[in-house]
Amino acid sequence: MADAPGTEFRSGFVCFVGRPNTGKSTLTNALVGAKIAITSSRPQTTRHTIRGIVHRDHAQLILVDTPGLHRPRTLLGQRLNDLVRDTYSEVDVIALCIPADEKIGPGDRWIVSQVKQMAPKTTLLGVVTKIDKVSRDQVAAQLLAVSELLGSETDVVPVSAVKGEQVEVLVDVIASKMPAGPAFYPDGELTDEPEETLMAELIREAALEGVRDELPHSLAVVIEEVLEREENPDMLDVHALLYVERPSQKAIVIGKGGARLKEVGTNARKQIEHILGVRIYLHLHVKVAKDWQRDPKQLGKLGF
């Protein structure tokens, strides 16, 4: 007997876009049900296209978490933008995230114009994030404003990733816009990102917590090696290098008497152990690579 209309399995790729700090990475983690994208109050935190995989009975959604599209000031910024452009043309749905507690501004309009220019045939969706922060009337007003920005034919979904409100509604709306097709990944797989990339991102996130504005763009993390202990195969030794651009930044990351770096190690270790399911010992070292964001050779060496 044939399936009832609308019950066929759907699968495809979706990309969340929006200004910095609009809740894109938090939303990715909420939909996947695990931490696979780093979240930070700092703009331009995401550096890689991390794919999160959402498994449901009726659909599989692959979330592509890109760096935010922005007006680049460095070679790194240019390369991150190129990464975003490539992604836009390859996904099935682009979901624009706008927070409920912020007015729509020139940055939002610029992103919408870029998306429509770069991916005119890709399905667009509006997502009003952080609805737990405002009243229902404010949510309603923002839904109307986003609908006017994107056009009345575009669906707009309100959501709170932190509280889990409307998360499943968003999954269903995105799934309805995907083509019918088989699952791309086996059940239970949450990301196709290499473990070393995830480790580096989580160390970066821990290092960015509570630091001054000058650091976020200047910090890169490279995993040098991961070793299993012979006497204890359930324990991994992870050696990581944190690169900054200036000696003053090195001092910020290390902190007085090494206190900050120790704190970074403790926080990152907990996150990594949670994701990998094994115990690890983190060896962190901080190095200065002068102006690496503007140097093509150093960018390549650091994985950009």
Question: What domains are defined for the chain?
Answer: 10-176 (3.40.50.300), 195-302 (3.30.300.20)
Reported as a pLDDT band with limits 50, 70 and 90, residue 37 is low
Please give the annotated binding residues for GTP, written as ranges: 18-25, 65-69, 129-132
Reported as a pLDDT band with limits 50, 70 and 90, residue 211 is low
| Residues 145, 128 contacting (CB under 8 angstroms) | no
Buried b (16+ CB within 10 A) or exposed e, 67-96: bbbbeeeebbbebbbebbeebbeebbbbbb
Strands (E), the chain: 10-17, 50-55, 59-65, 93-99, 123-129, 156-158, 220-229, 232-244, 279-288
Q: What does the pLDDT average to over 227-255?
A: 87
Checking if the pLDDT of 172 tops 50, the result is yes
Checking if the pLDDT of 42 tops 50, the result is no
DSSP β-ladder status, 279-288 and 10-17 = unpaired
Half-sphere exposure of 37 (CA within 13 A, CB side): 29
Measure the CA–CA gap between 76 and 74, rounded to whole angstroms: 5
Top pLDDT among 147 and 23 is at 147
Measure the CA–CA gap between 275 and 155, rounded to whole angstroms: 34
| Residues 195, 238 contacting (CB under 8 angstroms) | no
Reported as a pLDDT band with limits 50, 70 and 90, residue 3 is very low
Reported as a pLDDT band with limits 50, 70 and 90, residue 25 is confident
pLDDT of residue 49: 60
| Residues 122, 88 contacting (CB under 8 angstroms) | yes
The whole model's pTM is what? Answer: 0.62
What is each CA distance from 209 to 57, 231, 253, in whole angstroms? 37, 34, 10
Q: Any idea what DSSP says for residue 4?
A: P
The residue whose two tokens read 């944190």 is 242
Amino acid at position 53, single letter: I
pLDDT of residue 231: 82
The string of DSSP letters for 36-83 reads -S---SSTT---S-EEEEEE-SSEEEEEEEPPPP----SHHHHHHHHH
Nearest residue to 27 via CA among 60, 54, 48? 54
Please give the annotated binding residues, written as ranges: 18-25, 65-69, 129-132
pLDDT of residue 118: 84
Measured from the Cβ of residue 295, the count of other Cβ atoms closer than 10 Å reads: 17
In the chain, the percentage of residues whose pLDDT exceeds 70 is 81
Measure the CA–CA gap between 210 and 189, rounded to whole angstroms: 32
Q: List the structure tokens of 263.
A: 């704190």
The residue whose two tokens read 């680049």 is 72
